[in-house]
Amino acid sequence: MKTRWLMALLVLCLLLAYYTMGNAYLKQEQQSASLRGRIAEASRALDLVPGPAVGAEQRLAAAQAGLAATEGGFPGRVNSTVAIDAILRLAESTGVKAMPLVTRPWEAEKWGGHDYYVLRLSVSAEGDFTRLAAFSRALESGDFPTLVIEQLGVSSEAGYPAAAAGSGAAPVSASFDLAIYTLPPPAD
């Protein structure tokens, strides 16, 4: 009789163990099904994302090479007198009378995470419209590739006949606010 009780108890323990393991298996199966569904949704979402554009890596490499070339071509600090002299020679070569009015000392500026030195100066110029236009184009494509016309003001004589004004020979005055950007000197 004792063995029957032990056998019954053993069978009962085994049934309880199988029941517990079966419930755990069913819970894991439900979680697994839920995760498979989420994985399928994520896969469908990834299928909608376009792949890299054709030639994007080549365009990126070309852009990086262009940036490196531009940064490498950036001038070092320029002597203020040399800059003013070059602008005056440029004015003379285009037939414009120019006079530097105000220069400010070199200033340090930060643009796009890079440090630069900037020389700002104002120039007053007189001549006909065609020559002033040639002077302004020559300024931005001349000796200093980083020269920028920050502001330009143009005026003409009030009493000058309108017919002559259309010919390009009307006297015109212009004021240029210029900035020349250079790299800072190397750190010691």
CA gap 99, 16 in Å, rounded = 103
What is the predicted pLDDT for the residue at 150? 92
* Mean pLDDT of all residues belonging to the chain: 82
Residue 161 pLDDT grade (very low, low, confident, very high; cuts 50, 70, 90): low
Q: Report the candidate in 137, 144, 129, 119 with the shortest Cα–Cα distance to residue 174.
A: 129
| Residue with the larger pLDDT of the pair 72 and 36 | 36
For residue range 114-147, what is the model confidence (pLDDT) as tens digits? 788 888 999 999 999 899 999 999 998 888 888 8
User: What are phi and psi for residue 169, nearest 5 degrees?
Assistant: -95, 0
What is the predicted pLDDT for the residue at 159? 54
CA distances from 142 to 57, 78, 87 (A): 34, 14, 9
- Tell whether the model's pLDDT for residue 53 goes beyond 80: no
Contact predicate 182/77, CB 8 Å: yes
- For residue 122 the two structure tokens come to 């104002």
For residue range 6-52, what is the model confidence (pLDDT) as tens digits? 888 888 888 888 888 888 888 888 888 888 888 888 888 888 888 77
- Tell whether the model's pLDDT for residue 60 goes beyond 90: no
* Lowest-confidence pick of 75-89, 91-105, 130-144, 162-176: 162-176
